[in-house]
Amino acid sequence: MHVHSYEKIWLALGLGLILLLIGSVTYGAVGPGVAMVAADEPTVDPTALDEDERFADPRVEQVGENEYEAYVVAYQFGFEPDPIVVPANSTVTFMVTSRDVTHGFEVVGTNANTMVIPGEVSTLTVETSEPTEYGIICNEYCGAAHHGMEGKLEVVP
Ligand code: CUA
């Protein structure tokens, strides 16, 4: 009888651990995804970008003395605007969304890199220094011409 009740305790403990594990896995899978959309990433209707104030006319806008916002649309197979022209020695926040499928937005040779998901706005802020030119590439497979999907970032004086 004694042994039997110990077994029950271990069984209950084991079951508890399994439930905990399932709980943490579920939380891990759902938690960050929800947080990204709700907290930092404003959403957007990918089928109505023409009606969106930010993305109807993809552009770079000055928002402060040395601060700019770049509204960028990724599509099969390019980026708009192209080139993206920003001033040297400034802070630029990119807001990137997709018109169709999931793309990537990577400024080659820098750590500026994000995934671009339809319906979400990916934001990333960079500091520019010297005038120069960067390539922009897509690093999420997005279709037949994925490897040719390129843009340009020009940092001008
Ligand atoms: Cu867009 Cu790969």
Q: What is the CATH number of domain 46-156?
A: 2.60.40.420
CB of 140 shorter than 6 A to ligand 1: yes
Positive or negative, the CA dihedral 121, 125, 131, 134 is negative
ipTM for the predicted complex comes to 0.99
Per-residue pLDDT, 124? 93
> Is pLDDT above 50 for 42?
yes
Give the tens place of pLDDT for each residue, 93-140.
999 999 999 999 999 999 999 999 999 999 999 999 999 999 999 999
14 alpha carbon – ligand 1 mean position (Å) = 46
Q: What is each CA distance from 19 to 12, 22, 23, 108, in whole angstroms?
A: 11, 5, 6, 44
112 alpha carbon – ligand 1 mean position (Å) = 16
Other C-beta atoms lying within 10 Å of the C-beta of residue 149: 21
39 alpha carbon – ligand 1 mean position (Å) = 26
Per DSSP, 49 falls in state G
Per-residue pLDDT, 21? 46
In ligand 1, the atom with minimum distance to the C-alpha of 140 is 2
Percent of the chain with pLDDT over 70: 73
Structural domain boundaries in the chain: 1-40, 46-156
